[in-house]
Amino acid sequence: MLLKLIEENKPIDKVVFYDTGMEFQSIYDSRDKLQSVIDSYGAEYIELKPNEPFLYSMLERKIKYRNKTGFHFGFGWCGGVCRWHTSMKIQAIQNYKKSLNDDYIDYVGIAYDEPHRFDKAKSEGKQLPLVDWKMTEADCLAYCRSKGYNWIEHTSNGDIDLYDILDRVSCWCCRNKNLDELRNIYKYLPEYWGKLKYIQSKIAEPMKGENKSVFDLEKRFEFEDKWLENGNKLRTKDFYNSLKEIYKCSI
């Protein structure tokens, strides 16, 4: 969105980026690459951050139980019905916009194939350039790549473009990642998989629900590799029966 706004010489005074502290390195690389583009256009780069480190909120913050006495430590996994850091992000952006004390045009990069997000954004007075240009998520990715932007992670397994293995590039620890995405992180991004295991070791609740902790999923992925090596196919009745028999659970 930003690159095309600049290409069309649209008015841009400020570019706001919220840093969770838990982004993939390639997100930070893209941010850094854009700095000179933003500066050359005469816009101001604004970076917002949470009031406290993400991992402190996730693992250590003392939190009172809602429906009973006592406390627990850390909000736990972020995602699903408990998107606690999303709320922090939205609040930080809203506070920044209030500080402007002025009328402004609020550009937001919602794509043309995300119609479920249109009404809420428009009701909040946001402008949706990608929707006006009828650019889908795939169009946007192709456009960015044509401008020399890729989301490359340099790993011990070689260079990996995140958009080749993930449906959506959110925080690397987001609980909303589906099984295929987590399998690809395990397979292609071992450094991030190690970080997920560290977090799981600190949180009792399994990342993806009962019998689906990061450690359970690693056992499953290892089993899948051996299953394929023996010439079998995944997602068959025999596969799921063998999986349940080995791990004595439904995963």
Cα(203)–Cα(206) distance, integer angstroms: 7
List 154's β-bridge partners, or say none. Answer: 159
Write the DSSP symbol of residue 166: -
Q: Per-residue pLDDT for the chain (251 aa), expressed as one digit of tens each?
A: 999 999 999 999 999 999 999 999 999 999 999 999 999 999 999 999 999 999 999 999 999 988 888 998 999 999 988 899 999 999 999 999 999 977 889 999 999 999 999 999 999 999 999 999 999 999 999 999 999 999 999 998 899 999 999 999 999 999 999 999 999 999 999 999 999 999 999 999 999 998 899 999 999 999 999 999 989 888 899 888 888 877 665 55
pLDDT for res 248:
62
pLDDT at position 88, please?
A: 94
Domain spans in the chain, listed from the N-terminal domain onward: 151-251
**Which tokens in the block code for residue 195?**
């970080």
Residue with tokens 């902790």: 213
- How many residues in total does the chain contain? 251
Task: Give the model's pLDDT for residue 240.
Answer: 87
Q: What is the pLDDT of residue 154?
A: 94
Distance between CA 56 and CA 63 in Å, rounded? 12
Calpha distance 185→192 (Å, rounded): 7
∠ CA 95-48-125, nearest 5°, is 45
Place of tokens 């799921």: 240
Overall pTM > 0.85: yes
